[in-house]
Amino acid sequence: MLHQGSCHCGQIAFEVEGDFTEGLDCNCSLCRRRGGLLAFVPADAFRLKTPENALSTYRFNTRVLQHHFCANCGIAPFSDGQNGEGAATKAINLRCLPDMDLDALKITKWDGAHH
């Protein structure tokens, strides 16, 4: 299923293909502060609809992951990273998909603090 996603003000908008039934609630030092509910998709399941230069990017720790956010409204809709095989992967904040029924998601605790 194709979902539309965005930050709050709309400077960042995207669409992502996926049948999301589960959201990861991560306890790393970033996620515990900003909230969010993550799902990982291959990069080719994702299409950015707004200009690349609307993305502000935060890196920490190993600096491998690129946590994108909107400098205007402060919302962080997705991050760029790699899976265990080195393939480009997006971490989608499912809270930024307005059509997503968040209450229907199975919430899985993800121990990002120790990964």
Rule CB under 5 A: which residues touch Zn ion? 7, 9, 11, 70, 72-73
Give the residues across from 56 on adjacent strands. 69
CB of 74 to Zn ion, least distance (A): 7
The smaller minimum CB distance to Zn ion, of residues 7 and 91, is found at 7
In the block, residue with structure tokens 């399941």: 45
CB of 12 to Zn ion, least distance (A): 6
Q: Which stretches of 1-115 are DSSP H helices?
A: 31-34
Q: How many CA atoms lie within 13 A of 40 on its CB side?
A: 14
DSSP annotation of 1: -
The smaller minimum CB distance to Zn ion, of residues 27 and 72, is found at 72
The smaller minimum CB distance to Zn ion, of residues 9 and 30, is found at 9
